[in-house]
Amino acid sequence: MHILVVNGPNLNLLGRREPEIYGTQTLADIDNELTKTFPDVRFTFFQSNHEGAIIDTLQSAMDRTYNGVVLNPGAFTHYSYAVRDAVAALPVPVIEVHLSNIHLRAESAAGEEFRRLSVIAPVCKAQVSGFGPAGYVLAVRMLLNATTETQ
């Protein structure tokens, strides 16, 4: 079992970026937690602030090198049709993850209505939103289940 974990723009700043929203764990903490929780799973971790680099990495899952993908597209979630198309092309399941609850934030006083829409979610197997770092663990569990289902 080999899972690709892709994080998009500004997620390299986790731990320092708006900790009241995204918490104090760093991306390295989240990666380490996954490795520790799933000792039998091989992980490849990737983060980029650049749309093209994310698409190139997603395309590396085209030949089924990975059994599944965990993707937090950051703000690309809300407007990147290019990332959506890359996900739609993949033959393996993709789980979209958000640390924060993007739907709640759309309702909040901050008036961030743009966060309500994910253009990526309709081409994913599922969306996990609002569980903080635990969302990544849940996403991997979902992929393990999905892979068993198709065997």
Site residues (CB under 6 A) for ligand DQA? 10, 72, 74-75, 77, 98-100, 102, 115
Candidate list 22, 66, 78, 136, residue with the active-site label: 22
* Minimum CB distance to ligand DQA, residue 74 (Å): 3
Q: Which is nearer to ligand DQA, 67 or 118 (CB)?
A: 118
Residue 5 is encoded by which pair of tokens? 């974990």
Known catalytic residue: 22? yes
Known catalytic residue: 98? yes
Q: Which residues contact 105 (CB under 8 A, 6 or more apart)?
A: 21, 112, 115
Task: Give the C-alpha distances (Å, rounded to integers) separating 121 from 5, 97, 142.
Answer: 16, 10, 15
Task: Give the C-alpha distances (Å, rounded to integers) separating 106 from 24, 76, 77, 126.
Answer: 22, 16, 14, 19
* Minimum CB distance to ligand DQA, residue 22 (Å): 6
* Minimum CB distance to ligand DQA, residue 101 (Å): 8
Which residues are annotated as catalytic? 22, 98
